[in-house]
Chains A and B, each alone.
Chain A
Amino acid sequence: MNSLTRWHRPQLSTWPGFGQLTSLRDEIDRLFEAPLAELARTSQVLGGWTPALDLYEDKENVYVRAELPGMKKEDIDVSLHNGSLSISGERMTEGELQDAEVYRSERFVGKFQRTVTLPTLVAVDRIKAQYKDGILSITLPKAEEAKPKQINVSIN
């Protein structure tokens, strides 16, 4: 007589390679999630240095931050034109050491420029910039007419 036994779902045996596969998938996910701007930035072959830029705003000010390590204040140029802020400059090579053999040269040397369109009008005469630890921080106070204001609606 045939015996009927309950059917058990076959158990998944733990696959030794599983851990490695999930970490590979995570890597690829990260590759796709990372903003393209970031990928373009790290590729210096494609046309030079694009220093990382952050743009923030609150009710009073617009803030711009650029990562520019190893520069001298006087070699950084900041200008405002038609509502766009431009940060540019040139990174000079430090004097070559005598008889030096170079093993790695990853740091970028040369001119760079980044331009960002500001979200509102700013009070040009009250712009402040600071260069500390290789980061240029610019605070641009919003022009009075650009600040958010309450408009009272009266209903008759």
Chain B
Amino acid sequence: MKTTAQRDHTENFNRSQEFVSPEVNICETKDGYVLEAEMPGVNKDGLEITLEGNEITIIGHRQVEPLNGEALFRESREADYRRVFELDPAIDTTKISAHMDQGVLTLTLPKSERVKPRKIKVD
């Protein structure tokens, strides 16, 4: 899986709303891919995952209650999260599943059955 990070960047210039890229871990096993994206402040309801062709766009809307009072020190960013990935054609897009826990999105992308290595019996 490749990240279309270049593309992300130019889109940020033109948008009026800023997005931040979440940090991800990606690994591949013989059964499929697992992607973990860190998006603190995002829960299930704030997630928008769209699949278009062979590209998957992950958008996480932060839903954090604004703090009352006066800010003495502020490091968190208000921006929502966005990242786009190009999918390996071996992935069975109908079987993609997502799980959100404590601000971490875990996306499981299984490979199509026919792509997995299998033995062929010879008569």
Contact = CB atoms under 8 A, between A and B. Distances in A.
Given A106-B24, A133-B63, A69 B69 contact: no
Contact of A105 (B25, B39, B77): B25
Contacts of B30: 99
B28 A57 contact: no
A111 B38 CA distance: 17
A122 interface: no
A134 B41 contact: yes
Contacts, number: 120
Interface residues on B, range: 35 or more
A153 interface: no
Contact of A133 (B3, B28, B42, B73): B42
B103 A69 contact: yes
Nearest to A100: B27
Given A53-B75, A56-B72, A134-B38, A69 B104 contact: yes
A11 to B, nearest CB: 28
Interface residues on A, range: 35 or more
Contacts of B77: 38, 52
A93 B47 CA distance: 24
Interface in B1-51: 1, 3, 13, 23-30, 34, 36, 38-43
14 contacts: A26-B13, A38-B77, A55-B73, A63-B69, A67-B103, A68-B40, A69-B103, A70-B38, A101-B29, A105-B25, A133-B64, A133-B103, A134-B40, A134-B42
The 5 residue pairs across chains A and B that have the minimum distance between CB atoms: A134-B103, A58-B69, A69-B103, A134-B40, A106-B23
